A and B are shown apart, each in its own frame.
Chain A
Amino acid sequence: MAIFYYLIFPGFLFTVIVGLLTAWFDRKVTARVQWRKGPPILQNFYDVGKLLIKEVPIPETANKTIFLLAPAIALAAATLSASMLGVINMNWNYTFVGDLIVLWYIMSIPSIMIVVGASASGNPMSSVGASREMNQLIGYELPLVIAISTVVFKVGSLGLGDILAYQANNGPILYSISGVISCIVILICLQAKLGLVPFDIPEAETELGAGAFMEYSGAALGAFKLTKAILLYTSPIFIITLFWGGIQIKGLGILWAILKYILFIALFTLIRNTNPRLRIDQSVRFFWVTMTILAIIALILMSLGY
């Protein structure tokens, strides 16, 4: 059963399909914002399908094992985070003590694997990308963890199932001032985790070529693309689970769940399309000052009962 969960339903197959469709939605909305027609609905499937038949040249300077292992581990970790969230949303009893912390760790493995893979490739552009990714990781983890702890203190438990049960009894955490503020903080932190535009500093096309992904091609690059797609699916679900009562897969709940999901994806796309890219120092300062202060304000408001 665990293998079925991991590979088929809330896991790999399902999330890849939904994630790639979401990535298409993102591209299409971007195109419409720019008065273009945009790619066809299966575009991202074509991209990945094509990458699978391309050859994978390995640079002479690279450490072959780490270079090829990094995308595989990133993909496995992203899939694991998606299946964990999916399974716990399906049945709250599958929760265990501290699964929120486990999930949070697993969700940062892809970013670390990007750093590892990029440094293993031996390309100077990649190493600049890797250092930026690392800086950015250090930047957004601080407000992210404070915002998560707001929810944890409110519920009094580190289990995702308990958070969902609490919201089922007392109403979603989003419907309070502290909830709204920490939700915004997490939304922006996840934007950085996904590497979407104002925070796409590690792969800044116009400065670094492809940054951290410079030397990757073929199936290895495909694995990274799938990782990004899965994370694009996981991030809204993560926010919805923490703040908006999770996803119910029965009756009208499905429709409501899809609406919530699309709302958050639209927010990601909107932020992406209305902001220019930041410099790395601006980004870190933004997270450590503005976002952290916002997150702490939310934490204080929560302890005052708002």
Chain B
Amino acid sequence: MSSEQIALPDRTNCVRLLRMMREIRQFEERIITLYPTDVMVTPVHLHIGQEAAPVGVCAHLTPADTIFFTHRTHGPALAKGLSMRKLMAELYGRTTGCSRGYGGSMHVVDPEHGMLGSSSIVGGGIAMGVGSALASKQMGRDWISVSYFGDGATDAGIFWESLNFAALKSVPVLFLCENNQLSNVMPKSEHLSVELANAAGAFMPASSVDGTDVLAVHEAAGRAIRRVREEKRPVFLECRTKRWMKHQGIERDDLPWNPVDREKDCPIRKLEQRLSEAGWMTAETIHDMARGIEKQIDDAVEFARQSPFPAEDELIREV
């Protein structure tokens, strides 16, 4: 379904979706400005251009729902409720960071918001999402779990093994593939021989959606998550997105096989246009929103800068 056909959710929800996407975008843009000054000594994988996927999905999750994502953490982490302060402080390597400075950009945790740890080894988190769903089922709880991964991760055996087990045991997990058609610099055509929704469809209900359109993602994820919750079973959803930045670092991507139209493919612009047409946002209210977010980011940066580094003698703890 294309965006024009999708009815707008209510106004509050729409504004929330926009705000969250902008928070991610502007947070990442601040990283781009600060990074060259070496205040953040940690490799970053930015989410710019792909904001619609985490935002559209996480809008349907409660803090109790768990989520397991990989190296590209900032988008899903913020969308799931990690505070900017804690994320920024983690990038700054401070004790107030979400992982107390021990994790860095790729390894974030926030148990209060259902984030039980992200892994930078591609693939492993997928199984952990299934295990978390198994726990919910066995303990008779009603929260669900999300395995959140990229197209590259589906190369790994553990992806297929996890689909199989989740289907066998019928556990409440959403397999969410954020497919930017790239695994590092490799195009999807070079690393994967199937259409994911078709292949996953052999195990469970599976669909694919335009991941540059937050309304489309929001609707498809809503449907998928409702099934996971109500039918207590696994569902697969693919969000087709575009990566704007290089795999890692703060430069724009320039791979010939990754043509990006930064106007047409921009999930934020798309939504802003719809909201303007509906008369719910104006250039001015959007500007105010952006300014508010900048202030929030200023606060996060200041918080990080004021926070202490871990002490050397704290090196060996929790071993």
A and B form one complex: no
Write the residues of chain A forming the contact surface with B, with a CB cutoff of 8 angstroms: none
Write the residues of chain B forming the contact surface with A, with a CB cutoff of 8 angstroms: none
